[in-house]
Structure 1
Amino acid sequence: KAGVKDYKLTYYTPEYETLDTDILAAFRVTPQPGVPPEEAGAAVAAESSTGTWTTVWTDGLTSLDRYKGRCYHIEPVAGEENQYICYVAYPLDLFEEGSVTNMFTSIVGNVFGFKALRALRLEDLRIPVAYIKTFQGPPHGIQVERDKLNKYGRPLLGCTIKPKLGLSA
């Protein structure tokens, strides 16, 4: 429940037909006991887009319909009890152009700690061409990087070095 009303009243839209410009996500969802799959799927759509647990005075300033994620299809996972694939469509207007960080923070941010769900996993993600075109890409190609590093014939891997790396407990 979205604090003031059930999520499925706003975010479960089985009649919705996806657009070529929608970002589409498939989540494997295991609801808590007593939570119907429609409510769990709608909760994922809400919590990863515009959902909130209380009424907000700014609700009247924007069109929720324009920005909300929509759980448009749910199917049980074959051979698994109480597991479902919930399909969620997100409008491009919800995301900052050219920002992978913004997209992933929205879609897979705090939704994984949501109490209505026992388990949640992002299984698949379709990013439309319209959104991909907003990414500038690297300023030069892989060959320039290999030449700078003088590394050829193997993958180039990187990681963030954290201050705690290498320290014993």
Structure 2
Amino acid sequence: HYLNATAGNCDDMMKRAVFARELGVPIVMHDYLTGGFTANTTLASYCRDNGLLLHIHRAMHAVIDRQKNHGMHFRVLAKALRMSGGDHIHAGTVVGKLEGERNITLGFVDLLRDDFIEKDRSRGIYFTQDWVSLPGVLPVASGGIHVWHMPALVEIFGDDSVLQFGGGTLGHPWGNAPGAVANRVVLEACVQAR
């Protein structure tokens, strides 16, 4: 479970992060676009120093990255996040309800997690980028995904990713536990089938 530390000001955000640590919550969540980059970098430093993972949500991204005439592409927002700090971020799914164009999604997934990315215009990577030792960020596939999407998700995102099944687990006709078992069994089958 994540404890959402996003708040109206940095003081309250940090109080929430400290409270999460006191509760023993292993993961703190932050909306980095609504919270701002300075707040996110502050929280990322606190989480690193205190052994907490920082899950990044991207609320409001569509207002910024889906505007054709103004705004900026999510690949730019992904790079800014990598510099600001975070352990994993919602990155779309290519399948499910957060669909995106496959090659472009894979391009910004590479920008998030790889140390060196070759120029590849088909994936929206317009110049070679070397992140040197800057830590990567794991992509999170979430949003309308379920067990039937697993083969595509494993192929698209590989091993270094987070597959977050909410309704895809809870909506199983036999209940939550069978939904979780189904996800795990299919994931392991997909990995072993490679």
Using structure 2 for the length normalisation, give the TM-score: 0.26
Q: Which has the larger radius of gyration?
A: 1
Using structure 1 for the length normalisation, give the TM-score: 0.28
- Specify which structure has the bigger relative contact order, considering alpha-carbon pairs within 8 angstroms and separated by 6 or more residues: 1
